[in-house]
């Protein structure tokens, strides 16, 4: 290898949020990831929502709170079509 040309490429540990640890090499050293091939639904075959900021929770709160309003809209819609 030529001197002063190659980047530092030490062994590193990539740690996933699920606890899986991958031993590899990286120029940026060890780091954490949110999802890996051990826990991603594509590889596990299990359905699982990947929710990082509570978005799913907020969506459910928003639309579960007022089911009556949604039904009221449905009832109004045909009346508007006639007029």
Binding site for Zn ion (CB under 5 A): 16, 18, 20, 36, 38-39
Q: Are 4 and 13 in contact (CB under 8 A)?
A: no
Which residues 6+ apart lie within 8 Å of 82 measured at CB?
A: none
Smallest distance from Zn ion to CB 49, Å: 15
Smaller CB distance to Zn ion: residue 26 or 36? 36
Smallest distance from Zn ion to CB 50, Å: 11
| Cα–Cα dist 52/25, whole Å | 27
Smaller CB distance to Zn ion: residue 20 or 26? 20
Smaller CB distance to Zn ion: residue 6 or 32? 32
Which residues 6+ apart lie within 8 Å of 63 measured at CB?
A: 70
């Amino acid at each position: 290898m030529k001197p002063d040309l190659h980047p530092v490429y030490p062994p590193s540990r990539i740690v996933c949020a699920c606890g899986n640890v991958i031993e590899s090499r990286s120029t940026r050293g060890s780091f954490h990831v949110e999802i890996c091939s051990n826990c991603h639904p594509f590889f596990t075959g299990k359905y699982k929502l990947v929710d990082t900021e509570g978005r799913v929770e907020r969506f459910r709160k928003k639309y579960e709170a007022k089911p009556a309003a949604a039904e009221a809209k449905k009832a109004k819609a045909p009346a508007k079509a006639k007029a």
